[in-house]
Amino acid sequence: MTAGGPDMPTAGSLAHEGFEPLSIERFLHLATGAAAAVADVHASGLLHRDIKPENIVEDADGVVRLRGFELSVQTGPLGMLPVSDSICGTLAYMSPEQARRVERHADARSDLYSLGMTFYEWLAGRLPFDARDAVEWVYCQVARQPPALSLYRGDIPPALEQLVFRLIAKNPDERYQSAAILLADLHACSRQWQQYQDVCDLDLQQPQPSAHPGMPVDELPVMPDARASITIPGGQDTLDLASVMKAARALSQETQQDRLIEMLMSTTIIQAGAQRGLLLLVQNDAPVLCAIARIRDTGLGIELMERAPGKQHLPLSVLYRVMRTHQRIVVEDVSTDGYFGADEFFKARTVRSVLCLPLLKQGQLIGMLYLENSLTPGVFTDSRTGVLELLAGQAAVSLETARLQRQLFKENARRQSVETALRNARARLSQVSQATAMGELAASIAHEINQPLASMVSNAAASLRWLNRETPKIDEALSGLRDIVKDGRRAGAIVNALQSLAQQGEQHRRRLLINDVIRHVVALTQVEVEQQRVLMTTHLTRSPLQVYGSSLQLQQVVLNLILNAVDAMSPGDQVLRRLSIESQAVGADYLVISVEDSGPGIDAEHLDKVFNAFFTTKDTGMGMGLAICRSIVHAHGGQLHVMPARYGGATFVFTLPAAEHGAERNAL
């Protein structure tokens, strides 16, 4: 043993400065010397706790020694450390139990794990793992299998690779149990190499290396302190507190369910040191498997799904116990558990540690989180599960929020689909209603047109007779021809009115203020109204509500109502003739427009007929104006009514929906 100086060369530093991995002969020399040094340290009752290339030195005589004893401690009577919550060592070389992530205490085999990581680096020229932070470093040491050394070079004897992987087994019981046994195997390797330039099978029992490298080291930023010796007071709990707070904050800010599930699975897999995890959500009191996460050769893979869980997915005895009791279940070692270990799921899979957590929100079971580790027993310690329960609580809230939001989105989509179907139905109904109205008008149309046509035929026949006399009666014939022209114009007027009614279809529509429509018509009719000695007043709303419609069609409605009101008030009356136009807003839903006159009013028996086509009480006109007005108002989603005025006369009132409520609904 030596304290070593900063200028003393180290075996590890050569590889870190860009040199090729060590040759097999050079490696066996350094590895044998390092194992002998570790055996001497352990024989003296010390545990080094920080073995790494920087703390292995070779002096000028070729003797390999250990240095860096700042973290070393005296072991107890059984070779174990006193209980401590602190994490001591170097993250890149630290054993799982040294990181306080399994139910084990650090002992001499923890130093052998660090020595194995050093051997791996000497042979491969790189560490088997890299990570972004301390939590991920610890996770790699607990749950990730190192890539096979043969992936980095092809001249390593299989027996020598097996020796290295036995040193870095996750379970201390599967490692070399002492440095002395390791030293004996290294001596045997050295002898065989010197004699045969090969190492024969040493009959070792060790875990198999991964056939493919894990997450490529080049894809991750190098941790600048990954090789630095550290001491973290409070140990893993200190790391957990910082990481769980960060994870909980991230979960609380995510509302999209798929991204939330992926974030939850990746976080818990790393936090727990698991190799495989399942998320199940409760729907209609039954579990639904929503995600499976597992460590693959290329990193963490997450598969989203929605299916019923089966015995091939997880131990159903564990699942239903958690659903029934709402309590977590931890199986430290499946192979020794007499109850859950008999589950059919474990007969087809090798699993060592199991954890199943309920996801609860205010006592309601939202789902379950199942985690497993196939490498090491006792991975899910009390402190780890306590931290994961905190994370599970936030996950339950976030998952329920995401579920409600997803349900709301579905309801909105369904409502929009119903509204679209309703709009289409209304459009079709409007077309059918319009066609029906046209059918009902057929008889009246035939009657109205047949009259002028019959008169035209009669006048034409009479005119021919007048012209066919021996002495033609030109004046009589011209009179008949004039009657024909008059009747033809009347027939044309009827056809034009019918065409106007039939074409209340799709027009250019936009948002507009109804007051602007009224003011425009009032300006157009002002002179004529004054000539008829009518006092026209307006009382218009100040509401900013707009309507969605055709300005030209709405002007036609207002114009027709104003002209009808003026016609209804006889010029011979000495009573003051008044015409009042008002607009009012009803909340944020509708606008109401009224046109009131002081004329004689409408007889009660005629109130139900004034909107019928060709009905009129005037001496002139065809009775199509109000029918056209009602058609226009209906096409805009409104209603047109007539009622007696307050002080005599008649009041015509029509409503229009505000643009926010009627724009899309009533657009045809």
Question: Mind listing the pLDDT tens digit for each residue in 106-159?
Answer: 889 999 999 999 999 999 999 998 887 777 787 788 878 899 998 888 899 999
Instruction: List the CATH code of the domain at 11-232.
Output: 1.10.510.10
**Cβ neighbours, 10 Å, residue 488:** 14
Topology of domain 236-408, per CATH? Beta-Lactamase (3.30.450)
User: Is 462 within 8 Å of 480 (Cβ atoms)?
Assistant: yes
Q: Which two tokens stand for residue 47?
A: 């545990």
Among 79-93, 128-142, 399-413, 443-457, the range scoring the smallest mean pLDDT is 79-93
Confidence class for position 306, pLDDT limits 50, 70, 90: very high
Letter for the amino acid at 544?
A: P
Q: In this structure, are strands 229-232 and 87-90 parallel, antiparallel, or unpaired?
A: antiparallel
**Max Cα–Cα distance, the chain, nearest Å:** 157
* pLDDT beyond 70 at 174: yes
| Domain limits, the chain | 11-232, 236-408, 507-668
Report how far residue 474's alpha carbon sits from residue 353's, in angstroms, rounded to the nearest whole number. 120
Q: Which two tokens stand for residue 460?
A: 């034409």
Taking residues 283-291, report their average pLDDT: 93
In what order do the strands lie in the sheet containing 276-283? 299-307, 286-296, 276-283, 364-373, 353-361, 329-331
Letter for the amino acid at 368?
A: M
Nearest to 630 by CA among 651, 613, 607, 649: 613
Burial of 175 (0-12, 13-18, 19+ CB in 10 A): buried
Taking residues 363-383, report their average pLDDT: 88
Report how far residue 155's alpha carbon sits from residue 149's, in angstroms, rounded to the nearest whole number. 10
Per-range mean pLDDT, top range of 52-66, 95-109, 560-574: 52-66
Predicted local distance difference test score (pLDDT) of residue 516: 93
Confidence class for position 415, pLDDT limits 50, 70, 90: confident
Taking residues 431-458, report their average pLDDT: 64
Beta strand extents in 392-451 (DSSP E only): none
Q: In this structure, are strands 535-539 and 578-586 parallel, antiparallel, or unpaired?
A: parallel
Report how far residue 257's alpha carbon sits from residue 259's, in angstroms, rounded to the nearest whole number. 6
Q: Which two tokens stand for residue 649?
A: 């006369």
**Cβ neighbours, 10 Å, residue 628:** 22
Among 45-54, 340-349, 478-487, the range scoring the smallest mean pLDDT is 478-487
Taking residues 367-376, report their average pLDDT: 91
Predicted local distance difference test score (pLDDT) of residue 90: 87
Would you tell me which CATH number, out of the four given (3.30.565.10, 3.40.1350.10, 3.30.360.10, 3.40.250.10), belongs to the domain 507-668? 3.30.565.10
Nearest to 563 by CA among 625, 614, 519: 625
Predicted local distance difference test score (pLDDT) of residue 613: 65
Look at the block and give the residue holding tokens 């109850």: 339
Taking residues 288-310, report their average pLDDT: 89
Predicted local distance difference test score (pLDDT) of residue 455: 81
Among 1-5, 16-20, 156-160, 407-411, the range scoring the smallest mean pLDDT is 1-5
Confidence class for position 232, pLDDT limits 50, 70, 90: very low
* pLDDT tens digits for range 568-622: 886 665 567 889 999 999 988 999 999 999 888 888 777 777 887 666 666 555 5
Letter for the amino acid at 272?
A: A
* pLDDT tens digits for range 500-531: 545 544 456 889 999 999 998 888 788 778 87
Beta strand extents in 229-335 (DSSP E only): 229-232, 276-283, 286-296, 299-307, 329-331
- Measured in whole angstroms, how far is the alpha carbon of residue 375 from the centre of its chain? 35
* pLDDT tens digits for range 318-352: 999 999 999 999 999 999 998 999 999 999 889 99
Give pTM, 2 decimals: 0.47
* pLDDT beyond 80 at 224: no
Letter for the amino acid at 278?
A: L
